[in-house]
């Protein structure tokens, strides 16, 4: 019996990857991989994968992640994308999916159960062009857990193809029509933003991707040096701030794309001035994928991607999009202009009302981060209530040269006393994940003195 699952012949099928077989799909300092060779390796890897219905892709190398993702899909299996690769999170997903195995590219000292390592020498197999059923469930993404329990979001190949076509329309004018962009991404491919911008774009667009996941400014600069022009940097506000503050020189960029957290206009403007290109912020979620874009340095309204429109709701908004089988509810409060563009007004869960006064956690966090000497910080609301029945507001701050009293004195200048965070705790670093998000459970542990 063939290792590759044969799909329903009446189902609509679409290419796994598009373009000239000779085009570059991936690259790094050691060389380039053509689309033709990549597809041969997908066939070869699919033939030797373990049995199962689900796989958790732990590959650190972006090319091997991409290769394994496609091979798993070709086998008719589904890739799970947990919100973290922490052992406890992986163990939980394996328990929820007993038909699941893990695969990766490293010899782990303590591998998770059912771990299968990709061979160092990747097998190759010739064959017909590769296609997938549009209805095939190729991935299940999980929300980050920044507002509570992570929730699963299934993704079919057809929905990924449609959303990727929209992403290409949102970005395509950043580089010349007759050129292939070469992308360097700092975000992991296991995150939905990383999946969209560094896995699906190379498969379905005029894009090649760097195999690494650079983190520090020097690593990012080195990866960009390995790219040919036009170069596109896909990153997050955390990485972008580090790049601007480092003063490091980068090769000419055609554009910078940012997501995963709100990008401050001042940082966007500083990055544009520093690196001589447009910084384009995209807005989306695990539930919806990317749905809008803006040039944050000069505009505050978001432009929806083609076919997307938002419908305000009392507790958030409904997203209508061609790649969504049904409207998706988001917790983001929006104001929609007559032309369909919209502005974010926070989240219902972030809005605070105490003693008849109102504030938002997002605005309080921005004021904390603006205190001179505060390198990073977050304000959040606790679950427990005080004696008056009000849920307390807490804060964590990274401020090596300040104490808690100094930070509170600075906050009093712009924050009503009822919204001052108590407790406010100084910490060496915030527990940000690979994309800069702050899982709520990690914040609570840190506030209680548990660094784990």
Q: What is the pLDDT of residue 398?
A: 93
φ, ψ dihedrals at 99, nearest 5°? -95, 25
Structure tokens at 226: 């390995």
Return d(Cα 449, Cα 414) in angstroms, integer. 28
Say if residue 288 is in the same domain as residue 383. Answer: no
- From first CA to last CA, the distance across the chain in angstroms is 47
Among 327, 345, 363, identify where a domain stops.
Answer: 345
CATH number of residue 52's parent domain: 3.40.50.12780
Q: Tokens 């019996």, residue?
A: 1
φ, ψ dihedrals at 286, nearest 5°? -60, -35
Count how many domains the chain has: 2
Nearest to 399 by CA among 427, 432, 436, 361: 427
Q: pTM of the predicted model, to two decimals?
A: 0.83
Return d(Cα 365, Cα 317) in angstroms, integer. 23
Say if residue 336 is in the same domain as residue 439. Answer: no
Average pLDDT per block of 10 residues along the chain, 452 residues long? 45 92 95 97 97 95 97 97 84 90 92 93 95 97 68 93 93 92 95 95 96 94 97 94 93 96 91 97 93 96 94 92 92 91 81 72 87 91 70 90 93 87 92 80 84 54
Say if residue 384 is in the same domain as residue 404. Answer: yes
- The boundaries of the domain holding residue 230 are 13-345
Q: What is the pLDDT of residue 231?
A: 97
Among 321, 345, 369, identify where a domain stops.
Answer: 345
Give 291's contacts (C-beta < 8 A, 6+ positions apart). Answer: 283, 284, 304, 305, 308, 310, 319, 321
Say if residue 59 is in the same domain as residue 123. Answer: yes
Quick one: three-class SS letters along 278-292? CEEEEEEECCCEEEE
The most distant pair of C-alpha atoms in the chain lies apart, rounded to whole Å, by 72
Q: What is the pLDDT of residue 22?
A: 96
């Amino acid at each position: 019996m063939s290792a590759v699952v044969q799909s329903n012949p009446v189902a609509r099928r679409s290419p796994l990857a598009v373009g000239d077989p000779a085009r570059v799909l991936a690259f790094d300092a050691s060389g380039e991989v053509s689309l033709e060779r990549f597809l041969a390796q997908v066939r070869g890897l699919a033939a030797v994968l373990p049995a199962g219905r689900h796989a958790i892709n732990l590959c650190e190398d972006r090319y091997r992640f991409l290769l394994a993702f496609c091979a798993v899909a070709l086998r008719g299996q589904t890739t799970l994308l947990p919100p973290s690769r922490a052992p406890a999170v992986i163990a939980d997903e394996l328990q929820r999916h007993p038909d699941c195995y893990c695969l990766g590219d490293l010899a782990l000292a303590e591998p998770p159960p059912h771990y299968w390592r990709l061979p160092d020498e990747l097998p190759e197999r010739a064959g017909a062009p590769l296609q997938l059923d549009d209805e095939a469930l190729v991935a299940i993404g999980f929300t980050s857990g920044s507002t509570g329990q992570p929730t699963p979001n299934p993704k079919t190949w057809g929905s990924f193809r449609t959303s990727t076509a929209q992403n290409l329309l949102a970005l395509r004018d950043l580089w010349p029509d007759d050129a292939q962009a070469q992308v360097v991404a700092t975000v992991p491919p296991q995150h939905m933003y990383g999946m969209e911008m560094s896995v699906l774009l190379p498969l379905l667009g005029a894009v090649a991707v760097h195999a690494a996941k650079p983190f520090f400014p020097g690593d990012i600069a080195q990866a960009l040096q390995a790219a040919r022009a036009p170069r596109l940097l896909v990153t997050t506000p955390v990485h972008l701030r580090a790049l601007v503050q480092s003063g490091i020189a980068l090769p000419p960029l055609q554009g910078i794309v940012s997501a995963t957290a709100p990008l401050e206009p001042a940082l966007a403007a500083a990055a544009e001035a520093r690196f001589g290109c447009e910084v384009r912020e995209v807005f989306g979620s695990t539930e919806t994928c990317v749905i809008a874009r803006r040039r944050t340095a000069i505009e505050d309204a978001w432009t929806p991607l083609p076919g997307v429109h938002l419908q305000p709701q009392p507790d958030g908004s409904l997203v209508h999009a061609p790649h969504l089988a049904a409207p998706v509810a988001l917790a983001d409060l929006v104001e929609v202009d007559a032309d369909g563009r919209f502005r974010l007004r926070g989240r219902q869960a972030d809005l605070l009302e105490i003693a008849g006064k109102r504030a938002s956690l997002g605005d309080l966090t921005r004021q904390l981060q603006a205190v001179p000497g505060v390198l990073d910080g977050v304000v959040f609301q606790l679950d427990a209530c005080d004696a008056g029945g009000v849920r307390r507001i807490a804060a964590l701050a990274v401020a090596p040269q300040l104490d808690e009293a100094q930070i509170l004195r600075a906050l009093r200048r712009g924050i009503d006393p009822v919204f001052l965070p108590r407790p406010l705790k100084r910490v060496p670093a915030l527990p940000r994940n690979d994309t800069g998000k702050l899982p709520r459970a990690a914040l609570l542990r840190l506030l209680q003195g548990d660094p784990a």
